[in-house]
Structure 1
């Protein structure tokens, strides 16, 4: 069956359609030994497709099981796969896949914590990231400064920043003391740093941002920071319905199992071991760097 190359590779978990199109433009994909052109169509059963010279494993539509995991991102992790400065990545803690790879549904800034979704389905990721979807996201924000009703009205009515009008759908006060305040804000439009930019436009300092909801997917109490949880079929099909994809019928997890306290404690211990390893690796790297600098002198 002939189908578009970028659609086939996205379904097989090699990135979103946009990611695949960029790889094609960079001439990193070949079909049967020839550089793939933009808009190429392939036979999924007979064509040999390579990315950077490596043969890819194609997942046919009847074989694919759509998976989605929710991850509680700590502050200090980058949302990209690799970093030239060696900073820890959100991908470091994710489970391994036999085929394809995890695709992040958007990004969170390095200093932003909270809910981040990943899927092995490029079509789903691409659909959820379309600006036209206007999926509501909720953040907990701590700010320092003078806040009055006029500033809240500004945030809800909209503010033009870098040529784009940004606004919160709703702003809910959650308490505070002195000039320290906590709010929950809902936003549909905008990119990664919109929440911070909106608050800073009102001359307050943002001390913490944490995403707690993506659409109807919530960051739950059984997910300590640095932990991930695979979503059940009901949640996956809610996301698929948002982007007009057919429902998934299969899952790799038992239906609707709740995590007990002992399970959460085990997750916390695993996260602490990972964090301790990062500290140890960082210390070794710094010691090695200092040693090299001394030799150069």
Structure 2
């Protein structure tokens, strides 16, 4: 059965649907030797090239969905490439074959905390464009006085120029004293810079902004800034379930552990085989080929 070209490429991990739609419009994708047009439908037997490189659809179908959590630092760029040549988050992510990392949402340069990346473009697309109210929790450090009226506005909703009315479902003051106070806020709309703009609307300055949680996936306290870790299978299937995708049956973590166990078994078998061979040679009266044996031999004397 035929499917839309951008959907097939997204599932193959070639990018998000938005990125691929742009690439198709710019003539960077061909099907069976012909430049593709936006909205084209393809079969798995078609030869699809992206930037001149053949996309192996058969191999991509066998790939498992991989999702990693990344601890973004302040000052890091969330874009794939920077016109000024500066390093971006994508330069820090692990290298992968026949696929690419796709961000599930973004954080602005001055925001730190949890970011999620996946090799499944369809998952990224559905989560990014999902109308489902997925909770996002942030830690906000404010500077200056915050009164009850400000909190009421933030909870009931403030009108932003580009996004319309946006609100926090929860605003909780954290313990502490002084002009700098920490609040934990929860919102369900994934709008760029909305958290900052909401506080600025109330004329309250923000000095720190950290994303702590996306849905039920929280930023691991042991994960260092600039570090990443693979999500467990249950966490991946939680994300897939949010947007109606089928569960995965295996994860990269499980496959990596199986590979390590297999490698360890092979090494043990090699050592065991070498030990048996040495024992057989000793029983047959052959000298053992090792340094210790040579050291025990008496040096020859001249006659």
In the TM superposition, what are the counterparts of 1:158-177 in structure 2 within 5 Å? 158-162=157-161, 164-177=164-177
The answer to whether the Cα contact below 8 Å between 1:77 and 1:87 also exists between their aligned partners in 2 is no
Q: Write out per-residue CA displacement over residues 238-293 of structure 1, whole angstroms, 9 at most, x where no aligned residue.
A: 000000000001112139x9xxxxxxxxxxxxxxxxxxxxxxxxxxxxxxxxxxxx
The answer to whether the Cα contact below 8 Å between 2:16 and 2:125 also exists between their aligned partners in 1 is yes
Q: Which residue of 2 aligns with 1:17?
A: 17
The answer to whether the Cα contact below 8 Å between 1:65 and 1:250 also exists between their aligned partners in 2 is yes
Offset at residue 17 of structure 1 (A) = 1.8
Offset at residue 23 of structure 1 (A) = 1.2
**Residues 199, 20 of structure 1: CA spacing in aligned structure 2 closer, same or farther, 3 A cutoff?**
same
The answer to whether the Cα contact below 8 Å between 2:103 and 2:116 also exists between their aligned partners in 1 is yes
User: Which whole-Å CA distance do the structure 1 matches of 2:36 and 2:159 have between them?
Assistant: 41
Offset at residue 49 of structure 1 (A) = 1.2
The answer to whether the Cα contact below 8 Å between 2:157 and 2:168 also exists between their aligned partners in 1 is yes
The answer to whether the Cα contact below 8 Å between 1:81 and 1:91 also exists between their aligned partners in 2 is yes
User: Which whole-Å CA distance do the structure 2 matches of 1:186 and 1:254 have between them?
Assistant: 33
Q: Which residue of 2 aligns with 1:205?
A: 205
User: Which whole-Å CA distance do the structure 1 matches of 2:205 and 2:86 have between them?
Assistant: 25
**Residues 190, 85 of structure 1: CA spacing in aligned structure 2 closer, same or farther, 3 A cutoff?**
same
**Residues 102, 230 of structure 1: CA spacing in aligned structure 2 closer, same or farther, 3 A cutoff?**
same
In the TM superposition, what are the counterparts of 1:244-283 in structure 2 within 5 Å? 244-254=244-254
Larger CA Rg, structure 1 vs 2: 2
Query: TM-score, length-normalised on structure 2?
Result: 0.80
**Residues 244, 60 of structure 1: CA spacing in aligned structure 2 closer, same or farther, 3 A cutoff?**
farther
Q: Write out per-residue CA displacement over residues 21-70 of structure 1, whole angstroms, 9 at most, x where no aligned residue.
A: 1211111111111110222122213x221112222232567513000000
The answer to whether the Cα contact below 8 Å between 2:136 and 2:187 also exists between their aligned partners in 1 is yes
The answer to whether the Cα contact below 8 Å between 2:105 and 2:190 also exists between their aligned partners in 1 is no
Q: Which residue of 1 aligns with 2:191?
A: 191
Structure 1 unaligned regions, length at least 5: 258-297
Q: Which moved more, 1:156-165 or 1:172-181?
A: 172-181
Offset at residue 4 of structure 1 (A) = 2.0
In the TM superposition, what are the counterparts of 1:1-297 in structure 2 within 5 Å? 1-45=1-45, 47-59=46-58, 62-162=61-161, 164-254=164-254
User: Which whole-Å CA distance do the structure 1 matches of 2:40 and 2:59 have between them?
Assistant: 18
Tell me the secondary structure at the aligned position of residue 254 of structure 2: coil
Structure 2 unaligned regions, length at least 5: 258-303
The answer to whether the Cα contact below 8 Å between 2:60 and 2:98 also exists between their aligned partners in 1 is no
- CA-based RMSD: 1.6
Q: Which residue of 1 aligns with 2:292?
A: none
Tell me the secondary structure at the aligned position of residue 96 of structure 1: coil
User: Which whole-Å CA distance do the structure 2 matches of 1:131 and 1:176 have between them?
Assistant: 36
Query: TM-score, length-normalised on structure 1?
Result: 0.82
User: Which whole-Å CA distance do the structure 2 matches of 1:59 and 1:156 have between them?
Assistant: 49
Aligned length: 255
The answer to whether the Cα contact below 8 Å between 2:12 and 2:61 also exists between their aligned partners in 1 is no
Tell me the secondary structure at the aligned position of residue 176 of structure 1: coil
